């Protein structure tokens, strides 16, 4: 009977880590992050080529022509990664019938309101959310739209005659 009252024996062992994404998803996200950041760096050093940092980066990679080649390769890889991601998301949603976990819902608006109340001190318990928090969904869609916009404007700069 004393074992039943001993709380330490009732504790459920918590894992050190929770696997949220499989290996393929982690590789995909890594490719997207690295290419996005690489495009930002190589794009900025082309725009502001006279700054000290830009000169250093340009020299590091062998000159402005090489930076432009790297930038275009990164753009191509990012475009392929985005096409892959949206294709995979569509397949998982419409073929496998998985839930649309990254689509904002009414519950997210409630969570935003409850989070503001928590920060204002009018709420004392943390907000309960699903697999992805509203903040993660906002970040996801900001990255998605930013990437689409970057691809569109990059294509226009890459092909000025055909997009004029």
Sequence-distant (6+) residues with CB within 8 A of 38 are 70, 71, 74
Q: How far is CA 8 from CA 3, 69, 135, in A?
A: 9, 61, 35
The whole-number pLDDT of residue 140 equals 92
- Identify the segments of the chain with pLDDT beneath 70: 1-14
d(CA 145, CA 88): 17
Instruction: State the pLDDT at residue 1.
Output: 47
pLDDT score at 18: 75
Residue-level pLDDT at 53? 95
Neighbours of 45 (CB within 10 A): 21
Residues 64, 42: Cα–Cα separation, whole Å: 10
Look at residue 100 in the predicted model and tell me its pLDDT: 87
SS3 state of residue 99: coil
* Per-residue confidence (pLDDT) for residue 16, from 0 to 100: 75
The model carries a pTM of: 0.75
Backbone angles phi, psi at 46, to 5 degrees: -75, -40
């Amino acid at each position: 009977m004393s074992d039943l009252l001993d709380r330490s024996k009732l504790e459920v062992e918590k894992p050190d880590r929770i696997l949220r994404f499989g290996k393929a998803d982690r590789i995909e996200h890594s490719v997207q992050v690295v290419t996005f950041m690489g495009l930002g760096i190589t794009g900025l050093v082309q725009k502001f080529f006279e700054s000290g940092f830009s000169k250093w980066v340009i020299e590091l990679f062998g000159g402005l022509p090489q930076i432009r080649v790297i930038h275009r390769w990164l753009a191509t890889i990012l475009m392929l990664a985005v096409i892959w991601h949206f294709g995979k998301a569509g397949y998982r949603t419409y073929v496998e019938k998985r839930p649309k976990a990254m689509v904002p819902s009414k519950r997210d608006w409630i969570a935003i309101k409850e989070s503001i109340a928590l920060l204002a001190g009018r709420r004392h318990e943390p907000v309960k959310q699903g697999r992805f928090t509203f903040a993660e969904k906002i970040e996801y869609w900001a990255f998605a739209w930013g990437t689409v916009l970057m691809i569109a404007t990059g294509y226009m700069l890459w092909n000025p005659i055909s997009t004029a």
